[in-house]
Amino acid sequence: MKPVMVTKRSGDVFRDLGFSPVEARSLRIRSELMTALRKFIEKEGWTQADAAKRLRVSQPRISDLACGKISRFSLDTLVNMLTDAGMDVAVKIKPRTRRVA
């Protein structure tokens, strides 16, 4: 039996996948916005066609959202879609906490 390599997780899936800290932060924020939008669409009971019309995008864009195609969405696009859905998007800025070694 081959020995199994175990890598300690960082607590950030994007960092664990090898993205730089900057890329990981952007992906994490976009992921959170996409999840909020998908949950809202589901809660409202909208079809992809309904969502596309109400959010002023094409149905394939809603399909991309539903499939989690994160690379196809910028922060601006997601904020605009959430705003069109009638949601408020707030940004919270805080100093980074220092880790104790």
CA–CA separation, 17 vs 43, rounded Å? Answer: 31
CB-based contact 14:70 (threshold 8 Å): no
**CATH 1.10.260.40 assigned to 13-84:** yes
Q: What is the pLDDT along the chain (101 residues), one digit of tens a residue?
A: 788 876 677 778 888 888 888 899 999 999 999 999 999 999 999 999 999 999 999 999 999 999 999 999 999 999 999 999 999 999 888 887 776 65
CB-based contact 40:87 (threshold 8 Å): yes
Task: Match 């904020």 to its residue by tokens.
Answer: 79
For residue 57 the two structure tokens come to: 């995008």
CB-based contact 30:40 (threshold 8 Å): no
